[in-house]
Amino acid sequence: MLFVELAVTGLVYGCMYAMMAVGLTLVYGLLRILHIAHAGVFALGAYVAVVVANATGSLALGFALALVVSAIAGVAIYRFAYQPLLGHPPFVPMIVSIGLFIVMQEGFRMVFGAYGIAFDDNPWYTSTVAIAGINLNYVEIAMVISSVVLLVGFGLFASLTRAGIGWRATVTDPQMATSFGVDPVRVRYVIFLFGSALAGIAGALVGLLNNYVEPTMGGLVSYKALAIIVLGGLGNVRGTLLASLVLGVVESYGTIYLADVFDRDAIGFLFLIVVLMVRPQGLLGRG
Amino acid sequence: MSAYVASIVSVVGINMILALSLNIITGFCGQVSLGHAAFYGIGAYTAAYLSKLGVALPLTLLAGTITAGLIGVVVGLTSLRVRHDFLAVTTMGIGFVFLGFVRKQKWLGGELGISGIPASGLDPLAYALLIVGAAAAVIAFTVWLKRSWMGFTFDAVADDEDAARTVGINVSTYKLTAFGIGTALAGLAGGLYIYFARIILPDTFDFVQSIAILTMVVIGGTGSVWGIVASTIALTLLPEVSRAASDYRLLIFGAMLMLVMRFSPDGLAGLVRRRTTP
């Protein structure tokens, strides 16, 4: 029974990682930038959700605003931090991204305090439901449902709409796509808008899951998301989804069976390093 | 010179060794590393563990240097398999693996680290001078390295790995050498740190520390020596000079990283070069 329970917890975490990592891998696929400041967007989503929910008493409003604000923040990051640097080697925007992430994290600390905020009213946190003998609380279920809905939605967008096809064309061959009338700048905006909205929702859900929002909460999740996109093969969306779920499960088992040697965070990266040494191109290869 | 000044001088010296050692890997040889603090930590933990067993100072420093360098070469092996962005994330992972390992080891003190490290036997001032001497030696070494044949070869590898291989450079050997030297020097900095601090905690060697070291390199000018010496002194003294700067140290680091990359991607050194040569 423990065996199954660990797998389920692992998959719940995997869904959360997937929501973070898909945004990162989209940005990487398009611009070849390691978007570390994505972690700041994640924390921003959580803060907006908790502050709005506590002020108005409406969790739904908190989540809606978290989605909107983090999407706008993502576009602003692209416009003001990355766009001026597109001609430079990838090292340069990566450093900027690290700088921006630190600034955001310190900004949260200054504005909201170092100790974190809890939700005043978090009914989902305490209500659990037993599915096939395994207890899950509502937040965990919401995490799985929202990641599936959002990612399937993105899949449909990419395969059915003009903008989605334009995006795929731009990733494959920017010049060719441009000459066929796809506006590459608009594609970038769409990617940052969507990826950041996902990160913001993930942040808000993690805030609910821990019933706690703190300035540094983005850090570890985003470092792991970086590990995941490398595992999946940088820029490869399918590989990223697979790697997210695999990492969630590996961590979940690792925390039980390797507890005396490594902590949870080390296990993920250890797994990453081992996989990369065997398959330097990632699990499914470069996208 | 008061004890306060001696302690600041020690910190500047240690940071300088750290920044210059990362510069050998990232600046000279072009291999991005986001986990340099791990080797600082390996040196510190090795030296601290041995010093508690009663091993004398020169030997603990040597052991810290060698252990960090050896593990550095092993980590360098990853740079033969993965490049650029993959390497950045992998080295970042090394940092987390080191921390996660140390935190769980009872014989290394776990979360509480190692305390009660024996005194160096020197008074604080003399010990600060020892650190400064070591930093000066590292400066001289990197200046020499940059102008040596090995420095030119590093340059070639950093510029274009495939082209370097075409002209007959054994790229793997040079990458591993850069990792070996750079991480060994970080280990030396770790060894020097323990007799200064007398206590080590796992969190001293976390990702933020890696980024702080990288900040000094990037702001000074990746690949330069004197730019980095200047930026290390400035960034270490800044929190001491101003109270506000010490409260918002990380905020200032982050903002500087963004501004320097935006307006002068080759750092202070590049800024000076452009001012002096029209």
In a domain, B219, yes or no: no
Interface check for B32 against chain A (CB to CB < 8 A): the answer is: yes
Look at residue B183 in the predicted model and tell me its pLDDT.
Answer: 94
In a domain, B142, yes or no: yes
CB distance A85–B100 less than 8 Å? Answer: no
In a domain, B209, yes or no: no
Report percent pLDDT > 90 for chain B.
Answer: 31
Give the span between the Cα atoms of B76 and B70, in whole angstroms. 10
Query: Best residue in A27, A108, A269, A283 to probe B by mutation, most B CBs within 10 Å?
Result: A269
Lowest mean pLDDT among A173-182, B108-117, B228-237, B242-251: B242-251
What's the rounded mean pLDDT across residues B236-258? Answer: 80
Report percent pLDDT > 90 for chain A.
Answer: 9
Look at residue A286 in the predicted model and tell me its pLDDT.
Answer: 59
Q: B48-60 burial, b for 16+ CB within 10 Å, e for fewer?
A: bbbbbeeeebeeb
In a domain, B236, yes or no: no
pTM of the model: 0.86
Interface check for B101 against chain A (CB to CB < 8 A): the answer is: yes
pLDDT at B109 over 90: no
**Mean pLDDT over the full length of chain A:** 83
Lowest mean pLDDT among A196-205, A255-264, B122-131, B204-213: A255-264
Cβ burial of A197 (10 Å; 0-12, 13-18, 19+) is buried
Look at residue B68 in the predicted model and tell me its pLDDT.
Answer: 94
Question: What are phi and psi for residue A29, nearest 5 degrees?
Answer: -60, -35
pLDDT at A287 over 60: no
Report percent pLDDT > 70 for chain B.
Answer: 99
pLDDT at B197 over 80: yes
Look at residue B5 in the predicted model and tell me its pLDDT.
Answer: 85
What's the rounded mean pLDDT across residues B132-142? Answer: 94
What's the rounded mean pLDDT across residues A183-190? Answer: 83
pLDDT at B204 over 80: yes
CA atoms within a 13 Å half-sphere pointing along the CA-CB vector of A79: 10
- C-beta separation of B46 from B67 below 8 A: yes
Lowest mean pLDDT among A200-209, A231-240, B39-48: A231-240
Q: Which amino acid is at A167?
A: W
pLDDT band at B189 (very low <50, low <70, confident <90, very high): very high
Q: Considering only alpha carbons, which residue of chain B is nearest residue A34?
A: B85
Lowest mean pLDDT among A172-176, B70-74, B134-138: A172-176
pLDDT at A92 over 70: yes
Cβ neighbours of A218 in B, within 8 Å: none
CB distance B253–A32 less than 8 Å? Answer: no
pLDDT at B1 over 60: no
Q: ipTM of this predicted complex?
A: 0.81
Residue B108: CATH number of its domain:
1.10.3470.10
DSSP one-letter code for B28? I
In a domain, B277, yes or no: no
CB distance B78–A99 less than 8 Å? Answer: no
* Cβ within 8 Å of B, A 94-113: 94-96, 98-103, 105-107, 110
Give the span between the Cα atoms of B23 and B189, in whole angstroms. 14
The number of domains in chain B is: 1
Write out pLDDT tens, residues A81-91. Answer: 888 888 787 77
In a domain, B243, yes or no: no
In a domain, B108, yes or no: yes
More confident residue, B226 or A137: B226
Minimum-distance CB partner of B93 among A85, A100, A227: A227
In a domain, B233, yes or no: no
What is the residue whose two structure tokens read 């994330």?
Answer: B89
Look at residue A1 in the predicted model and tell me its pLDDT.
Answer: 67
Look at residue B64 in the predicted model and tell me its pLDDT.
Answer: 93
Write out pLDDT tens, residues B41-86. Answer: 999 999 999 988 888 888 999 999 999 999 999 888 877 777 777 7
What's the rounded mean pLDDT across residues A180-196? Answer: 84
* Cβ within 8 Å of B, A 187-246: 219, 223, 226-227, 230, 234
Interface check for B251 against chain A (CB to CB < 8 A): the answer is: yes
Cβ neighbours of B235 in A, within 8 Å: none
Distances (CA, A) of A23 to A59, A93, A181, A197: 24, 17, 25, 9
* Cβ within 8 Å of B, A 150-169: none
Give the span between the Cα atoms of A36 and B95, in whole angstroms. 16
